[in-house]
């Protein structure tokens, strides 16, 4: 939900909810309702766009993980040619493991191709910057706008 949109600058709130659908007795899900709320600020300058994200995640669980988590990240995209962007994202999240010595931090690099005005496909690679983050992962996604 956009709160401000003016001259290439925007601020939005992104709420979300996690609905228990798995059998928590078999270790499939938390068995409880959870949610998150992100504050996103973006600035578009020519072929560049910059995005800052701050978030709170309510990690309902039954395995003694932290319940209150935070997220912070900064991303930039550059439209190299029409409909093709390069993207980079760096971020960190609070480790749900209360005994962990570090929080998961990451760096993502990728490409975004806009098939049309309302549909994107993207591919990327995620690198772990700390021991608690996965070392490397391949990413793929689609975005539908309506």
Tell me: pLDDT of 9 over 70: yes
Tell me: pLDDT of 53 over 90: yes
Confidence category of residue 72, pLDDT binned at 50, 70, 90:
very high
Q: Are the CB atoms for 33 and 60 separated by under 8 Å?
A: yes
3-state class of 26 per DSSP?
Answer: helix
Alpha-carbon radius of gyration of the chain: 17
> Which tokens hold the place of 104?
């998961």
Q: What value does the mean pLDDT of the chain take?
A: 93
Chain segment 103-130, per-residue pLDDT in tens: 999 999 999 999 999 999 999 999 999 9
Q: Which of 33-47, 58-72, 104-118 has the lowest mean pLDDT?
A: 58-72
Confidence category of residue 26, pLDDT binned at 50, 70, 90:
confident
Q: Which of 5-14, 88-97, 102-111, 120-129 has the lowest mean pLDDT?
A: 5-14
Q: Average pLDDT of 11-24?
A: 87
The Cα-based distances of 143 to 18, 30, 93 in angstroms read 20, 27, 23
Q: Which of 30-34, 91-95, 116-120 has the lowest mean pLDDT?
A: 30-34
What structural domains does the chain harbor?
2-144 (2.40.160.10)
């Amino acid at each position: 939900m956009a709160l401000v949109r003016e001259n290439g600058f925007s601020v939005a709130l992104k709420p979300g909810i996690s609905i228990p659908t798995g059998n928590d007795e078999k270790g499939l899900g938390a068995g409880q309702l959870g949610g998150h709320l992100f504050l996103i600020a973006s600035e578009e300058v020519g072929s560049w766009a910059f995005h800052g994200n701050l978030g709170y995640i309510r990690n309902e669980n039954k395995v003694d993980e932290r319940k209150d988590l935070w997220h912070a990240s900064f991303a930039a995209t550059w439209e190299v040619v029409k409909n093709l962007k390069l993207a980079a994202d760096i971020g960190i999240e609070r480790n749900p493991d209360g005994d962990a010595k570090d929080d998961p931090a990451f760096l993502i690099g990728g490409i975004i191709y806009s098939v049309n005005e309302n549909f994107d496909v993207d591919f990327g690679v995620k690198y772990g910057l700390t021991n608690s983050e996965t070392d490397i992962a391949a990413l793929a996604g689609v975005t539908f706008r309506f």
